[in-house]
Amino acid sequence: MDTNSISGRLQEEIDREKASNAYLMSLVALMAGLPLPVLNLLASVIFSLLNRKGSYFVRWHCTQVLISQISVFFLNSFGFTWTMRIIFFDLSPSNEWIAYVILVLLVNLLEIIGTLVSAIRIRKGKESSWWLFGPITDQLVRKS
- Which pLDDT tens digit goes with each residue over 2-60? 556 777 788 888 888 888 888 887 777 777 666 666 777 888 888 888 888 888 888 89
Decide: pTM greater than 0.85: no
Task: Compute the mean pLDDT over every residue in the chain, rounded to the nearest whole number.
Answer: 85
Distance of alpha carbon 22 from alpha carbon 47, whole angstroms: 7
Query: Which one, of 83, 69, 74, lies nearest residue 40 by Cα?
Result: 69
Contact 109, 87 (CB under 8 A): no
Which run of H or E residues covers position 76?
A: helix 56-88
Per-residue pLDDT band for 100 (boundaries 50, 70, 90) equals very high
**Is 21 or 78 the better-scoring residue by pLDDT?**
78
Print burial letters for 98-130: b (CB count within 10 Å at least 16), e (below 16): eebeeebeeebeebeebbeebbeebbeeeebeb
Per-residue pLDDT band for 94 (boundaries 50, 70, 90) equals very high
Contact 17, 124 (CB under 8 A): no
**C-alpha 140: how far from its chain's center?**
16
Per-residue pLDDT band for 106 (boundaries 50, 70, 90) equals very high
At 3 the pLDDT is 59
**Total tally of structural domains belonging to the chain:** 1
At 1 the pLDDT is 53
Per-residue pLDDT band for 86 (boundaries 50, 70, 90) equals very high
State which residues form the domain around 114.
3-140
The stretch 60-80 carries a mean pLDDT of 89
DSSP 90: -
Query: Which CA distances in Å does 20 have to 2, 36, 69, 82, 88?
Result: 27, 24, 15, 33, 40
